[in-house]
């Protein structure tokens, strides 16, 4: 069984706006969502900047009693899912037993974890919340969405670090494509801006320690010195194409390819030869029926770490061939949002769908000093209008996880 | 503040309820308080009154919670 899978709903909670409309218009306009850390007192850690979600009030989506029982990452997931479900109009049209949830998160309830460790140290084990475990575990956002929308098929997290969002979507696509589900809620969520998190990434030398928000997240720029940690969520409603068409749903695009590989090389460093990433891209392109000469938008993983951006450039050259790789329109929207870890791939899937729908690719902000080792077209500074045939989104995670999703418009 | 008032206030704060709607006979489940919520409530009350609270029977109504807290207070006073 090989069924087509389309997107009929989208929702986003990001550092540059809550709601897909705000997210996308700010992205096109070059708004940067990076600013000083306010989630905790950052005076003890090396990094002072993050991509925080501004003005998020969980009471806009949740009852008061629910708020205290959900980690911030789960609250984001509910907000994004709520928008996606509303947009899709899918509620009430499906058999709950044929509805699945695949929701990625790189870490899980990081704030909950840290807060309860502090309680343990300060006040002892009797003060560790009975909600500590359920709020912390990484599968809970998927479980909560299943409860909320009565999706009774598979409900699984993808926990592949920064590839989680893309892996979740890819696995949901496979579930529908091969007949295990008709409808899926899928995407990713993350709320990692906590002191222990920033301290840990700092100790890895993974984060930028820049103090200027416009010179911190610098994908493909020679000045890049690490990523900027960010938070958010993005959720898609996926449906089998015929059912979506028959119920008259608005279709935002088709997911036509998915590649999933592992470097099998190192805990955190990408393979220098980029073989794993290149195979993920190649697999997605093969499923998508890519042909040389097509106009392609690439939403790069583009974290702004030295190793990623060089390896990703290499992977694109291997997968597309040197000549076609030079024709690609590539951007890293992490230049605007920072790196939402397990939510990144899901938010970037929305970027790909919007780029295809509106014939415009958002820019890589603040790309002023090209790196000779990153020598492709990364759409510096301002958006570009072009009619794309295909869009792909790369996501690579610690653990060596590589995921690539491919998207097309419905009806050419 | 007596124990009942303390419990009603804590629940009202947490669940956005009107404290006056809570009576000793209110069933916990009827206001959305499950076993995890009850455990968390007792933890908050422990923090407030400074004695350990260990329920010895199932907590079905507000009255049960009041009795459990009062028992813990009495046990603590007897030392």
pLDDT digits over A307-336, tens only?
999 999 999 999 999 999 999 999 999 999
pLDDT of residue B76: 80
- Rounded to an integer, the average pLDDT of A43-53 is 98
Fold of B3-77: 1.10.1200
pLDDT digits over A265-294, tens only?
999 999 999 999 999 999 999 999 999 999
Choose, from A339, A352, A374, A401, the residue flagged as catalytic.
A339
pLDDT digits over A61-111, tens only?
999 999 999 999 999 999 999 999 999 999 999 999 999 999 999 999 999
- Going by CATH, does the domain composed of A257-408 fall within 3.40.50.300? no
pLDDT digits over B1-57, tens only?
699 999 999 999 888 888 889 999 999 999 999 999 999 999 999 999 999 998 888
Write the residue in A68, A126, A127 that is nearest to B14 by C-beta.
A68
pLDDT digits over B48-73, tens only?
999 999 888 889 999 999 999 999 99
pLDDT of residue B79: 62
Q: Do A130 and B46 touch (CB under 8 A)?
A: no
Where are the domains positioned within chain B? 3-77
Write the ipTM.
0.89
- End-to-end CA, chain A: 23
We find that the CATH architecture of domain A5-246 is 3-Layer(aba) Sandwich (3.40)
Where are the domains positioned within chain A? 5-246, 257-408
Q: Give the three-state DSSP class for B33.
A: coil
pLDDT at A212 over 90: yes
Establish if B18 touches chain A: CB-CB under 8 angstroms: no
Closest Cα in chain B to A135: B36
Please report the sign of the dihedral spanned by the C-alpha atoms of residue A269, residue A274, residue A280, residue A285: positive
Residues of A in contact with B48 (CB under 8 A): none
pLDDT at A412 over 60: no
- Best of A65, A119, A131, A140 to disrupt the B interface by mutation (most B CBs within 10 Å)? A65
* A5-246 and A257-408: identical CATH topology: yes
Establish if A126 touches chain B: CB-CB under 8 angstroms: yes
Residue A101 has which token pair?
């949830």
Establish if A68 touches chain B: CB-CB under 8 angstroms: yes
pLDDT digits over A217-245, tens only?
999 999 999 999 999 999 999 999 999 99
CA-to-CA distance for A330 and A338, rounded, in angstroms?
17
Sequence-ordered list of residues with C-beta below 8 angstroms from that of B2, at least 6 positions apart, any chain? none
């Amino acid at each position: 069984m090989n069924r087509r899978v389309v997107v009929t709903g989208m929702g986003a909670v990001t550092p540059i706006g809550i709601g897909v409309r705000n997210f996308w218009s700010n992205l096109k306009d070059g708004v940067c969502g990076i600013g000083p850390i306010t989630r905790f007192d950052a005076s003890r850690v090396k990094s002072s900047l993050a991509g925080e979600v501004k003005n998020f009030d969980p009471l806009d989506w949740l009852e008061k009693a629910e708020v205290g029982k959900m980690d911030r990452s789960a609250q984001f997931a509910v907000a994004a899912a709520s928008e996606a479900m509303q947009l899709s109009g899918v509620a009430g049209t499906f058999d709950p037993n044929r509805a699945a949830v695949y929701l990625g998160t790189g870490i899980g309830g990081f704030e909950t974890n840290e807060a309860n460790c502090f309680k343990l140290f300060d006040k002892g084990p009797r003060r560790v919340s009975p909600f500590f475990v359920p709020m912390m575990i990484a599968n809970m956002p998927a479980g909560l969405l299943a409860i909320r929308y009565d999706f009774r098929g598979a409900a699984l997290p993808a926990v592949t670090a920064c590839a989680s969002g893309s892996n979740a979507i890819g696995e949901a696509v496979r579930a529908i494509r091969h007949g295990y589900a008709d409808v899926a809620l899928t995407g990713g969520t993350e709320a990692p801006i906590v002191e222990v998190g920033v301290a840990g990434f700092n100790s890895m030398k993974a984060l930028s320690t820049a103090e200027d928000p416009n010179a911190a997240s610098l994908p493909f720029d020679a000045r890049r010195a690490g990523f900027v940690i960010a938070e958010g969520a993005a959720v898609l409603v996926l449906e089998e194409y015929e059912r979506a068409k028959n119920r008259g749903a608005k279709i935002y695009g088709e997911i036509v390819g998915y590649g999933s590989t592992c470097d099998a090389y190192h805990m955190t460093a990408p393979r220098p030869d980029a073989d794993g990433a290149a195979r993920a891209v190649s697999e997605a392109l093969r499923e998508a029926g890519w042909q040389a000469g097509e106009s392609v938008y690439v939403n790069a993983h583009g974290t702004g770490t030295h190793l990623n951006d060089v390896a990703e450039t290499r992977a694109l050259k291997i997968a597309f061939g040197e000549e076609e790789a030079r024709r690609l329109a590539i951007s890293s929207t992490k230049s605007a949002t920072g790196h939402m870890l397990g939510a990144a791939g899901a938010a970037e899937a929305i970027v790909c769908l919007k780029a295809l729908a509106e014939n415009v690719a958002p820019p890589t902000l603040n790309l002023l000093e090209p790196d000779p080792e990153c020598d492709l077209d990364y759409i510096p500074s301002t958006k570009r209008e072009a009619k794309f045939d295909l869009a792909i989104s790369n996501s690579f995670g610690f653990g060596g996880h590589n995921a690539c999703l491919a998207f097309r418009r419905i009806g050419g | 503040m007596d124990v009942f008032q303390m419990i009603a206030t804590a629940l009202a704060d947490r669940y956005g309820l009107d404290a006056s709607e809570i009576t000793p006979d209110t069933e916990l489940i009827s206001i959305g308080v499950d076993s995890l919520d009850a455990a968390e409530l007792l933890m908050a009350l422990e923090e407030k009154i400074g004695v350990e609270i260990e329920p010895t029977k199932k907590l079905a109504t507000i009255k049960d919670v009041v009795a459990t807290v009062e028992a813990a207070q009495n046990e603590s006073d007897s030392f």
